[in-house]
Amino acid sequence: MKKLQRKFIHELAETYKLYSESQDPEPKRSVFVRLQASSRLPKIGLKEALFVSERMKEKERKKRERALQIEELRQQSAEFNAIVVKDPFMGMTAEKLAAELPEELSVKWLMDSFVIYGDFGESQLRALKPEIKEVLTSKNLAMDCALAKTDTPRTLIYDVEQTTELPAETKLEPVPNRLLISTSFDWY
């Protein structure tokens, strides 16, 4: 008898208040079951127990799925509550950054970037973002900044706003097609 089968019989015997004992050496192991004075029938049968067990598992699964959906919605609907500094220049510190920003804003190093935050809503941060970007680029502190979603103690960045505009340096002007005329005297 396999170990799983023996375990099932022991648990079944425990439910019915029967005496059970494993016997014989390992390859041909078996279970001995005997009635006792305290033996009784359980309140529900195996079919009902299986049905109840499956319903409970289904409820737990639905509960976990619902909790995951709620968490995803919370993260998606949460407002941007910070500004993340993108591409900081070498040597920039939180102290240097804080010295250049208004006193109402706080700076924290978080997940390989600086996070600027304060007691502002998303609309106020959107209004502050161009000013902060101007300070960052004019003082040679960083290349860019973006709105971000962080948790309340500022230990995790959930999401960063995706910007679609390219910096001026990366925009390429179309190069006119130049006609190369080659002759038999051109050796290159």
Whole-number pLDDT of residue 118: 85
DSSP string, the chain: --HHHHHHHHHHHHHTT-EEEEES-GGG-EEEEE--TT----SS-HHHHHHHHHHHHHHHHHHHHHHHHHHHHHHHHSPP-EEEEEEEPTT--HHHHHHHS-TT-EEEEETTEEEEE-S--HHHHHHHHHHHHHHHHHTTSEEEEEEEEE-TTS--EEEEPPP-SPPGGGPPPPPPPPPPP--TT---
What confidence category does residue 19 fall into, taking pLDDT thresholds of 50, 70 and 90? Answer: very high
Is the domain spanning 79-164 CATH 3.30.420? The answer is no
**pTM > 0.85:** no
Q: Is the pLDDT of residue 20 over 90?
A: yes
Q: What is the per-residue pLDDT across 134-145, written as a single tens digit (0 to 9) for each?
A: 999 998 888 889
What confidence category does residue 27 fall into, taking pLDDT thresholds of 50, 70 and 90? Answer: confident
The domain spans of the chain are: 1-42, 50-77, 79-164
More confident residue, 167 or 110: 110
What confidence category does residue 169 fall into, taking pLDDT thresholds of 50, 70 and 90? Answer: low
